[in-house]
Each structure stands twice: as structure tokens, then as C-alpha cells.
Amino acid sequence: MKIKGVIFDFNGTLFWDTALHNKAWDIFLERHNLKLSDKEKNEKIHGKNNRDILNGLFQRQLLKEDINKFGKEKEKIYQELCLQTNMQLAPGAIDFFNYLKGKNIPFVIATASEIDNVDFYFDHLKLDSFFDRTEVIFNNGKMKSKPDPQIFNKAMNVMGLSGNETLVFEDSISGIKSAENAKVAKIIIVNSNNDDYSDWSYQQIRNFAEVDKRLFE
């Protein structure tokens, strides 16, 4: 199997921020008299877009303006929490980007984050050193939530590749299922939060230096 292109999920994969998202959601939920366990967050939040998350939390179809208002409220909390930390990419990520560039292997980000967070990441994590901002696949308000394969299919279209040529890095349950539904050649789980992935036999890593470079030869 020779991999010709790579898709990175972002949150919890390239940027290990799961705990920050959980904390931001806890603050948001408390404000609105709602509550979720960490297990429920894994099932109902991680990897999904804000529209589907919020409709699920409030158990009704919210108006577009309410989704926008609540989404901005939560992401403002999240960004403030991020800025209180030493924001950096996952271990080994930059060296891996440089390896891929050296081999002329295309790689893109496919994230459930919305535009405000994408811009935030580019500003604070210097992503423009490696990624073309115009090629990032993000939640534009119309994107279907993972586990639908739409987000990864769009990323493959950007690279001009098919599933049997593509490697996906993911951390969320919904994201892993999305990659499976996109029929990609290989999935590698980034276990950034010490979660239980016993339902899958995919390789798990905690540093991108662990990726076998023979996949690209």
C-alpha cells in the first residue's frame, strides 16, 4: 500500500485541545442549566459540528440565528481557555509536515471547526507555514457532521486523490467512522486524550514520529 495523500483532523489530532473543549462546554452547559458526562461528550460532541451538537443539547431544532449565537458563545469561552495555555501542535507534527513536504505528498486539514476557530488556529499556531488556508475543509454551516464521509470526501477532492490513496489521522469516534465511511486506505488514531479505542484495531500513536514512513514509499 502506497499512501499518496494525508488528511488531518485538527482538534484532538493536530492540536490536543480535547480537555479545553470539554471545559468550555462545561462552562456553556452550566450557563444554560445543562449537563453532560465526559463519556456523553465523546458520543454527542467530539467531531461533530455546532449545529448538530446544539440541536442535540437543547433537544429541538434551533433557529439558525440561535445556533450562531450559542456557537459563538461557546467558542469565545474555548478561545479564552486556549490563550491561557502554551498553544502548540501535537508532538512530532512539524517534523512530519516537513517530511511530507520533502516527499511532495499533499496534506490537508479537515475539521468540524467553524471559520472563527480556523482563523484563530492560523493566527496562533502559524499553520500558514504548512497549510494553504484556502484548502482547509471546515464547517461552513452546510457541512454534514461526522460520521458522514462528506468532510473527508471534500478533502480528497482538494488533493485530487481517491480513498484508496489516502491516510486519515483522527481521534474522535465519529471521525474514525467518517473515515471508514469515506473508504480511505488507512486510518491512524491519535490517542491524545487516553480514550478507549478497543472497538478498533487501527494503529494508535501519541507522537507523529511513530508513523511508519514506509507507507509513503
CATH number for the domain that contains residue 78: 1.10.150.240
Indicate whether 119 and 168 sit together in one domain. yes
**Average pLDDT over all residues of the chain:** 94
- 61 burial type by CB count under 10 A (0-12 exposed, 13-18 middle, 19+ buried): exposed
The reply to whether 110 and 197 lie within a common domain is yes
Nearest CA-CA partner of 208 in 87, 110, 93, 131? 93
- pLDDT attached to residue 59: 86
Domain limit, last residue, from 82, 102, 126: 82
* Residues 57 and 133 reside in one and the same domain: no
**What confidence tens digit (pLDDT) does each residue in 8-27 have?**
999 999 999 999 999 999 99
**Same-domain status, 193 and 147:** yes
Domain identity same for 125 and 207 = yes
Look at the chain and count its residues.
217
| Full-model pTM | 0.90
Cell 495523500 belongs to 5
Domain ranges, residue 40: 18-82
Determine contact, residues 193/19, Cβ cutoff 8 Å. Answer: yes
Q: Of 39, 61, 82, which residue constitutes the final position of a domain? A: 82
Q: What is the CATH number of the domain that holds 109?
A: 3.40.50.1000
Nearest to 138 by CA among 120, 125, 126: 120
Give per-residue pLDDT as tens, 54-105.
998 898 999 989 999 998 999 999 999 999 999 999 999 999 999 999 999 9
Indicate whether 123 and 61 sit together in one domain: no
Give yes or no: residues 73 and 103 share one domain. Answer: no
Q: What is the CA radius of gyration of the chain?
A: 17
45 and 122 fall within a common domain? no
Q: What is the pLDDT of residues 165-192, one digit of tens each?
A: 999 999 999 999 999 999 999 999 999 9
All three cell numbers of 111, joined, read: 475539521
Q: What is the pLDDT of residue 44?
A: 80
Q: Which of 55, 82, 109 is the last residue of a domain?
A: 82
pLDDT in tens, 124-179: 999 999 999 999 999 998 889 899 999 999 999 999 999 999 999 999 999 999 99
Q: What's the number of domains the chain is made of? A: 2
Write out the three cell numbers for 102: 520533502
Are residue 111 and residue 184 in the same domain, yes or no? yes
Preceding amide of 106 cis, omega within 30: no
> Does one domain contain both 75 and 108?
no
